[in-house]
Every structure is written in structure tokens, then in C-alpha cells.
A and B are shown apart, each in its own frame.
Chain A
Amino acid sequence: MTDYAAAAVQPIVQGLLTVASLGGPVTFTGRGAKLIPSLQPSPNGVGRDNTHPQGVFVLTLDVGLPGNAGAVEPFPNNAVPPTLAPAAPLPRTLVDVRAPLVGGPPALPAPTTLTSVSVAYGNFTGPASVTPPFDGSLTQVMIVVAAGAALSDPFTPNANGLEVIVWAGVESP
């Protein structure tokens, strides 16, 4: 096999994120990260940022490999010019939507209504006892999905879960 890759794709996080119902409990099945704990009495807040009832999920990178917490390095905020110094330049995340199963029985796959999918990196939420002490690294990945402008969970009729892969890229030479 010819090895001419700019950077190998070696995931540090990969898994499936699902919800039990719209606004319901969140589950992450995979490796390299875990859901943030709930700050609410309800388990529905697990994995959520406690501000948005739907459509926003926060994963904390595992300590050590494969999550490799600390691998997401921030770029200095005062870099000049800012357009040449994007924050968190290295992580790459792939989010794929699993099609919702609607109608039936039997339920059939249908096009997803989630038209907006994005990611962000930072230290967003979670009790201090869970969020690692700030050492300059970014330890959390936020995934935001919405139907149009409305934050919406990946559950029927919107979708049927999110496949998530995170890996580290390389810097400019």
C-alpha cells in the first residue's frame, strides 16, 4: 500500500449517539469519550448542555488514549491576523445522521429533517469535578443538530441517531 497520506485518519473517538425520545435520555455507544453528567434531577440532562433541551450534545474526551484528552489544542486568541489563526485547528469530526424510521408498522426509513449539523470544541459545561482542570487544552466536543433553525434531537421523525468520529489532523507545514 502506497503511503502518501497527508495525515492518517486514526480516530480518537468513534461511536453512536442516540436519544430515547425527543428531549429524552441520551446514550453514547462507542469509545474515546463520555457524555457529560446531568446538572438536573432528570437523566434527560445527561449529555446535554443544560441550556438546550434538544439538539445539543457534549462529549468529554477520555483521559488518555484513545480519547487522548488534551489533543485538541486551542490557538492563541490574540493571534494576528485572526483569520490566519483559527481556534482548535487540528481536530476533525465526522457526523453522519442515521435516517429516521417512520410510519408503519413496519416503520420505514425516511429522509432526515436535520438540515443543520455542526461541531464546536471547547470546555463548555459540566461540574468542575468532572471537567478536567483547565490546562490549556480543549476537552469537549459539542455537536449541534437542527431542523432548519430549530434545535431538534436525532429521533423520529428527525433522525435515528448520529454516528460520530473524531480524529486529529495536522498543522500547516
Chain B
Amino acid sequence: MTDYAAAPAQPIVQGLLTARNLDASGVVTFFGIGIVQTGPNAPIYVGAGHYILTLDPGLPGDVAIDPPFGRFMMTVRGPGGLLVGTPTAVDSKSINYIQNPVPGVGADKIEILLNVDPETGLEIVLWRADAGVELVNANLIGPIYPNH
């Protein structure tokens, strides 16, 4: 396979998030890999469309990510069943990286903010990308053959 990517997309988190708030005690669940799913760091339902997820310790969740390197994708799964084909009410999606208070750790939690809960679910993918020139790439910038 030809490898010409500017930066490979190697997700450290990917899965399907579902949220329910049937009795005003919202529940958010994550089905996938890279996010803590149980215990004190299980996904938190902050409010409608607002969730906090904790990255898995170790790979692939990688404990934490330096926010400038974070790349995130989310796709709404709209209404299903008899309502399939109905537009989703989600028209605002954004991501925030929550820094660990310990200096140098980075962000070990991610915060998803939608205007409402997704009807069926939310597909999410998080990967680490390049955030500008790194030292490892420094020699690739500028003249390749400076002595010629």
C-alpha cells in the first residue's frame, strides 16, 4: 500500500456513544475502545448533549493527549425505527479537551457538547495528529541537499 499520508490517522478512541435521559437521571454509555466504561471514571452525563469521557489508561486510550494534537470526528446517528429519515435535532457539535491538573500530563478527559442528546447515538473517533513541525521532522524542512 502506498503510504503518502501527511499524518496517519491512528485512532486512540473510537466507538459509539449513546445517551438517555428518560427519568431525568441521564445515562451515557460508550461501546468501543479507548474510553473508560466502568467505575468512577465511567462516562458522565452532565446534561442534555453534554458528556465527559475519560481516556483509557495505557494504549490505545493513551491516558492523555496534548490538546493541540487532538483530532476528533463525530457523526450523529439520527432517528431510527418508524422515524428513520427524520432529520436529527443535533445541529451543534463541539469538543473540548480537559487538562489533567497535574502539569505535563495533558488532557485525560474529553468533553462533548451537543445542543441535544442524539436520537440514536453518536459515532466518535479521536486520534493524535501532527501539530506543526516536530523535531523529528525538522530535517525534512528546507533544502534537502544543502551542500549542492
- Closest partner residue, chain B, to A144 (CB atom): B78
Determine how close the nearest CB of chain B comes to the CB of A138; give it in whole angstroms: 11
- Closest partner residue, chain A, to B31 (CB atom): A89
Determine how close the nearest CB of chain B comes to the CB of A45; give it in whole angstroms: 14
Query: Are B78 and A119 in contact, CB atoms less than 8 angstroms apart?
Result: yes
- Closest partner residue, chain A, to B10 (CB atom): A5
Query: Are A171 and B8 in contact, CB atoms less than 8 angstroms apart?
Result: no
A7 interface residue per 8 A CB criterion: yes
Determine how close the nearest CB of chain B comes to the CB of A147; give it in whole angstroms: 9
Q: Is the interface of A mostly helix, strand, loop or mixed?
A: loop
Per the bound structure, the CA–CA distance linking A5 and B32 in Å amounts to 13
Determine how close the nearest CB of chain A comes to the CB of B106; give it in whole angstroms: 15
Supposing A94-B75, A119-B77, A170-B33 touch, asked if A89 and B16 sit within 8 A by C-beta, the answer is yes
Interface residues of B, count at CB 8 A:
45
Partner of A172, one of B15, B59, B119, B123: B15
Query: Are B91 and A116 in contact, CB atoms less than 8 angstroms apart?
Result: yes
Total contacts A-B at CB 8 Å: 136
B54 interface residue per 8 A CB criterion: no
A137 interface residue per 8 A CB criterion: no
Query: Are B31 and A144 in contact, CB atoms less than 8 angstroms apart?
Result: no
Per the bound structure, the CA–CA distance linking A95 and B73 in Å amounts to 10
- Closest partner residue, chain A, to B20 (CB atom): A83
B contact residues vs A (CB 8 Å cutoff): 3, 8-16, 18, 20, 27, 29, 31-34, 37, 59-62, 73, 75-80, 84-91, 118-121, 123, 125, 127
A contact residues vs B (CB 8 Å cutoff): 1-9, 49, 51-52, 55-56, 83-87, 89, 91-95, 115-122, 124, 142, 144-146, 148-151, 169-173
Known: A118-B88, A120-B85, A145-B87; 11 extra A-B contacts, CB below 8 A, are A7-B14, A49-B85, A84-B31, A86-B121, A87-B120, A118-B118, A119-B76, A146-B87, A150-B87, A151-B85, A172-B15
Per the bound structure, the CA–CA distance linking A63 and B125 in Å amounts to 26
Determine how close the nearest CB of chain A comes to the CB of B123; give it in whole angstroms: 5
- Closest partner residue, chain B, to A151 (CB atom): B87
Partner of B90, one of A5, A95, A116, A148: A116
Partner of B27, one of A52, A83, A150, A151: A83
